[in-house]
Structure 1
Amino acid sequence: MSEKPERIVLAATGDLHVNDADANRYRDLFAEISEKADVLALTGDLTNFGRTREAENLAEDLRHCTIPVVAVLGNHDYECGQPEEVVRILQGAGVTVLDEQAVEIAGVGFAGVKGFVGGFDRAELGAFGEKAIKDIVDESLGEARKLENALRTLRTDRAVALLHYSPVAATVEGEPKEIWPFLGSSRLADAVDRFDNVRLVLHGHAHRGSYEGRTRRGIPVYNVAQFVLTEQFGKPYVLYEV
């Protein structure tokens, strides 16, 4: 687009969990989304185990998407230990996979990271005790720093943050409370809240979670795992005006 529109339509979904046998599973869905939106955001767990064939199946379907696609990886995309290969295959299909960088599309900035575990608010895990605990906290802090750094590079007055793990407790409600610390971290919300241009935050991961929440500063957070969206809207994606 040569001119930057005042608003764009953003489609979002996540937790596709494409497997080895899933040829053409999402082809028609991506074609439909292309007719309704300007940009598609994918919030991780794009594959089921991070296998090469899974990524290739998804990439083939994404070639039927005629609008720009931005994405982050999820924990399932790391399972086989080759997230770089998943990224390479998806990039070959034209997907911008966000991690330490940001991108501007039609006047809207997109920054994203996978995120990590750690818990929320007063129940957030602290860096005390065994090295293994400190390593978890370091990883969580590192993901939040990457998100903050990526958002800082954007000069747009509208920005969207993409995550896999949740930044707030509200959107994991519905999941067993015992596993909430493994579904996200408030540190991600702290990073987002430092920026006035972030219009919304999208994440997945919590299949049985809730659709909507807010950061402490009031920035809207949406759980766009396809299972949540299907329950909420009767279809596996949602549209936003940004």
Structure 2
Amino acid sequence: MLALAFSDVHSPKYLHLLKADGRYRLTLMAGDLVERSRVENLRPVVEFAKSRSDFIISVFGNEEYREKEEEFREAYPEVRWLDDEYAVMDLGGPCVSVVGSRGSLLRPTSWQRKHLPNIEEEYSKKPEVIRKLIREAKKECPTVIYLSHYAPTWKTLVGEKRSIWPYLGDPRIERVLLEEGVRLAVHGHAHYGRVAYVNLGRLTIYNVALPARGKPTKIAIGVQRKLI
């Protein structure tokens, strides 16, 4: 099954990069879809996704401000928004579970420290929050996709300045994904990441940021069968 994935449209800035042929069962959007949380600017992004796929799942990025999340949910009910949540999708065949989160940073930015109370505590707990969600999702459907805005690994950050990697992602999440047997993860945020994807054993992690890739990413989703 093919899915279409992208992030960091920063609509309207990178709308011209939203081009893809064909139709897909699922579109995965990994945050920073608009600039400065302008809810109305998401409409052309959602219309593009609707024109190419049957189901749309998205997480929020740092440009979708926390205080605006409900506005996004209400304005775009055709999108399944996930914020430290999971959804089990019936795509006309075997099921797929998507665990969605903004993700975590190894080190909060100075802006986050100033404006988001308890952000350090939140990030310290995030790996285990993700682990719990994956385990709950796998009980309902064994094929789990991890979708986040921030990178769950540093291996896809090559191309970004090494000094800012702790502000772009959190490699502790990579360990959780490997330990829990997740085979596919999708993230954004890394505009200058030169590595489109990395294989870590049976786990593949994609950076689908539009400024880095230049177009949406097509991803084949393999289905894991339950053992009887």
User: How does the TM-score come out when normalised to structure 1?
Assistant: 0.75
Q: CA, structure 1 residues 191+15, in 2 after alignment: closer, same or farther (shift >3 Å)? A: same
- Alignment equivalent of 1:43, drawn from 6, 30, 33: 30
Identity of aligned residues (%): 24
Match of 1:229 in 2: 213
Match of 1:200 in 2: 184
Unpaired segments of 5 or more residues in structure 1?
1-7, 120-124
Q: Superposition pairs for residues 199-218 of structure 1, below 5 Å? A: 199-209=183-193, 210-214=195-199
Q: CA, structure 1 residues 13+96, in 2 after alignment: closer, same or farther (shift >3 Å)? A: same
Between 1:65-74 and 1:187-196, the stretch displaced more is: 187-196
Corresponding residue SS for 2:5? strand
Corresponding residue SS for 2:123? helix
Whether the aligned pair in 2 keeps the contact of 1:42 and 1:72 (CA below 8 Å) is yes
Please state how far the C-alpha of 1:62 moved relative to its aligned partner.
Answer: 4.2
1:190 aligns with 2:171: no
Match of 2:128 in 1: 145
Task: Provide the rounded CA distance (Å) in 2 between the counterparts of 1:179 and 1:157.
Answer: 35
Please state how far the C-alpha of 1:15 moved relative to its aligned partner.
Answer: 1.0
Task: Provide the rounded CA distance (Å) in 2 between the counterparts of 1:104 and 1:170.
Answer: 28
User: How does the TM-score come out when normalised to structure 2?
Assistant: 0.79
Whether the aligned pair in 2 keeps the contact of 1:168 and 1:214 (CA below 8 Å) is no
Task: Provide the rounded CA distance (Å) in 2 between the counterparts of 1:49 and 1:186.
Answer: 27
Task: Provide the rounded CA distance (Å) in 1 between the counterparts of 2:188 and 2:46.
Answer: 20
Q: Superposition pairs for residues 76-225 of structure 1, below 5 Å? A: 76-78=63-65, 81-90=67-76, 92=77, 94-105=78-89, 106=91, 107-118=95-106, 135-154=118-137, 155=139, 156-196=141-181, 198-209=182-193, 210-214=195-199, 219-225=203-209
Corresponding residue SS for 1:44? coil
Counterpart of 2:221 in structure 1: which amino acid?
Answer: E
Task: Provide the rounded CA distance (Å) in 2 between the counterparts of 1:82 and 1:69.
Answer: 19
Whether the aligned pair in 2 keeps the contact of 1:13 and 1:238 (CA below 8 Å) is no
Please state how far the C-alpha of 1:61 moved relative to its aligned partner.
Answer: 4.3
Please state how far the C-alpha of 1:69 moved relative to its aligned partner.
Answer: 0.8
- Alignment equivalent of 1:18, drawn from 11, 21, 24: 11
Task: Provide the rounded CA distance (Å) in 1 between the counterparts of 2:17 and 2:46.
Answer: 10
Whether the aligned pair in 1 keeps the contact of 2:150 and 2:189 (CA below 8 Å) is yes
Unpaired segments of 5 or more residues in structure 2?
223-228
Task: Provide the rounded CA distance (Å) in 2 between the counterparts of 1:28 and 1:172.
Answer: 22
Task: Provide the rounded CA distance (Å) in 1 between the counterparts of 2:221 and 2:145.
Answer: 11
Structure number with the bigger relative contact order (C-alpha 8 A, sep ≥ 6) is 2
- Alignment equivalent of 1:239, drawn from 196, 219, 225: 219
